Amino acid sequence: MSEDGTKFGRAASRLASIRTHVSQPIVDINKLDKLNFKIAPLVQHALAEGLPIVAFESTIISHGMPYPQNLETAKEVETIVKDNGAVPATIAILNGVPHIGLTALELEELAKLGPKSLKTARRDIAYVVAMGANGATTVSATMFFAAKAGIRIFVTGGIGGVHRHGETTMDVSSDLTELGKTQVAVICAGVKSILDIPRTLEYLETQGVAVVAYKTEEFPAFFTQKSGCKVSCVNSPKECAKLIDASIKLGLGSGILIGVPIPETSEASGDSVELAIQTALSETVVKGINGNAVTPYILLRVNELTKGASLASNIALIKNNALVGAKVAACLMKLQDS
């Protein structure tokens, strides 16, 4: 072999080694133990064996739905993931200890606590841990913990965003900045329609976040399939996996947002939901509700004003997202193994 051929062979070998290292991170369970993370047995096994894992937030359990619907939905969602070849990992902080995956008893405990668990974004993690409190993780906190554990796929209902009139209030969710710096793919039903969707997408562009929609070129609006905002399209779980894998190999370091439209059969009437949102928004001003209490209040009021239609839609879309997320996780594992 010529000298040039030898150099090329060595370079190709090094490149292959780098690609393998980047696309298949080795999770050191002992390191997670030192961080005082509690890993559920099923999740620990999946991490050790390189099995596909889907992370879930816990705010949707504690603050998004009433008991016992929250527990029933959480169990059904985890079953959907298992039935489609992946391992569910619901993330929460219990008694000051971050949990990556919850046992059946822990899931029930969290569901019964409801709003008594502190709504925990990235900024709140240290406080909740230091105080030994219970924390229900939002999108930003869940992404943080998922990334620490080497979990690439995270399924939720919808992400936070730029609030309406955010140009004057500066009320912008930490979910958006987390997506800009944490390499986790978030599969959701889009941005909640209670937010300013066009400005949210503009902010995500500034953060360098790849935003795509599943089997459509229109970004979904949580309760409804259409927002009027065009984005790139991915047509299958395999295409989603290719996108995630490419981002990892390129070392972009940012997250990916995959918007999955709510099933048409579960889509709430856009006009009735919008009217309920406007009513709830007006009430937050009158009652002086602000900060991280705004979204839970609005979702609760919208559900009341739509006589349960929005809650039914919420449950349907999270189940649909879980189905897509499990398939994407399985495809990503096969792609990286190959």
- Provide the annotated active-site residues: 57, 192
Distances (CA, A) of 245 to 153, 226, 236: 11, 27, 14
Return contacts of 36-39, CB within 8 angstroms, 24+ apart. 36/97, 36/98, 36/129, 37/97, 37/98, 37/99, 37/100, 37/145, 37/148, 37/149, 38/94, 38/97, 38/98, 38/99, 38/100, 39/99, 39/100, 39/101, 39/149
Separation CA 200–CA 260 (nearest Å): 17
Q: Which residue has the tokens 């006009």?
A: 271
Q: Residue 202 CB: number of other CB atoms within 10 A?
A: 13
Q: Which residues are paired to 109 by β-bridges?
A: none
SS (H, E, C) 27-47: CCHHHHHHCCCEECHHHHHHH
Burial tier of 112 (Cβ tally within 10 Å: 0-12, 13-18, 19+)? middle
Task: Give me the long-range contacts of 250-254 (CB less than 8 A, separation at least 24).
Answer: 251/22, 252/183, 252/208, 253/181, 253/183, 254/179, 254/180, 254/181, 254/182, 254/183, 254/207, 254/208, 254/209, 254/210
